[in-house]
Amino acid sequence: MRALVTGGSGFIGTNLVQRFMDRGIPVVNLDWSPPLDPAHRPYWREWDIMDQDVTRRLFAELAPTHVVHLAARTDTDEQQDIDAYQQNHEGTRRLLEVVRATPSIERLIVTSTQFVCEAGYQPKDDLDFKPFTLYGETKRRTEMATREAGLACAWTIIRPTTIWGPWSLRYRDVMFKVMRKGLYFHPSKKKVVRSYGYVGNVVWQIERMLEAPRERVDQRVLYVGDPPIDLRIWVEAISRELVGRPVRYIPTWLVRSLAFTGDALKAVGLPFPITSGRFRSMTSDYITPMDRTIDALGEAPWTLEAGVKEMVKWYDSGSERIVAPTLKDVRLKPAVAP
């Protein structure tokens, strides 16, 4: 196996590249940001997904056999201009043309998102979409581009759930920091079921897809993560490991009021730990179908408790020195002809 990971400098990518390194599998990370982990720099090649000519040269040079496509803009901040996310759908379309023309490639994994369907909507089949953000719409287009690419290699589309674990700067900078300061409060004790996933289990699932018999994974859409869980169980596990005490609960209406304040501060560029988007994720069920993934790949190995211990260990082992990459707006870059 010669592995190529696009977006290997990101959260999931960092964990996946490390897994390939640990197994002695040759791996190259293509990303326009440097790796989060300085130890990964020898495996990194600076790359712009929109530059198809460079992509062709790199694929011809590297001759990968297994490609995991993670590169994307993953926030949901932009709500007006879908071109802000063109590296997701248009960039993937250009990448797929190169994949189709690269005979060495045996397996391809293309990353979508659970957000191709809004919370509470259970898709009837793989082509049943209901995105509720521009980001989700770009991933719907990514999935369609993959289906229409005419690929000879085996391909699988993955839809990550809400993924957490070491190298997640979002949890480092928001939830963990606030919890350590004693400022974390959870809205009421109402049961909210969410689809979360420890990143170690996601990496294991990706590995299994790359190595499983073709008929089990080819042209399939699989959610990656863990079975849905009561959100309070997850939050309490983190609180016990991080600060050694249970979570404090406050009335939902009060958290909603704080979220409105957060929205106003965010509008003027000031950070605040709770916004309306985060409030909805804390109070709304979001259940994704994991049964098909477990049937195809088996039960993932990491328990909740073991994953939490790993994440807290990472958090306390110098994670504050990791610098988050600067978001690059493709609309400000000169257009590159496909």
Q: Rounded to 5 degrees, what are φ and ψ at 4? A: -125, 125
Q: Does 336 fall in a domain?
A: no
Tokens representing residue 117 in the block: 């369907």
**What is the bridge-based pairing of β-strands 248-250 and 185-187?**
parallel
Note whether 135 and 282 are same-domain residues.
Answer: no
Note whether 186 and 147 are same-domain residues.
Answer: no
Last residue of a domain, one of 133, 160, 187: 160
Last residue of a domain, one of 160, 183, 210: 160
Note whether 132 and 245 are same-domain residues.
Answer: no
Q: Does 330 fall in a domain?
A: no
Q: Which residues contact 136 (CB under 8 A, 6 or more apart)?
A: 76, 113, 115, 116, 117, 118
- Residues in the chain predicted with pLDDT less than 70, given as ranges, are 333-338
Spatial CA neighbour of 51 closest among 110, 108, 98, 17: 98
Q: Does 214 fall in a domain?
A: no
Q: Does 307 fall in a domain?
A: yes
CATH code where residue 266 lies: 3.90.25
Range of the domain at 186: 162-195+226-288+298-323
pLDDT at 337: 52
Note whether 168 and 93 are same-domain residues.
Answer: no
pLDDT at 44: 98
Note whether 188 and 279 are same-domain residues.
Answer: yes
pLDDT at 336: 53
Q: Which parts of the chain are beta strand (E)?
A: 3-6, 27-31, 44-46, 66-69, 107-111, 154-160, 162-164, 185-187, 193-194, 196-198, 220-224, 229-230, 248-250
Q: Which residues of 161-183 are buried (b: 16+ CB within 10 A; e: fewer)?
A: bbbbbbbbeebbbbbbeebeeee
Last residue of a domain, one of 110, 136, 160: 160
Number of domains in the chain: 2
Note whether 182 and 124 are same-domain residues.
Answer: no
pLDDT at 120: 85
CATH code where residue 93 lies: 3.40.50.720
Q: Does 268 fall in a domain?
A: yes
Note whether 188 and 45 are same-domain residues.
Answer: no
Q: Does 328 fall in a domain?
A: no
Do the beta carbons of residue 184 and residue 248 sit within 8 Å?
Answer: yes
Note whether 152 and 51 are same-domain residues.
Answer: yes
Q: Does 112 fall in a domain?
A: yes
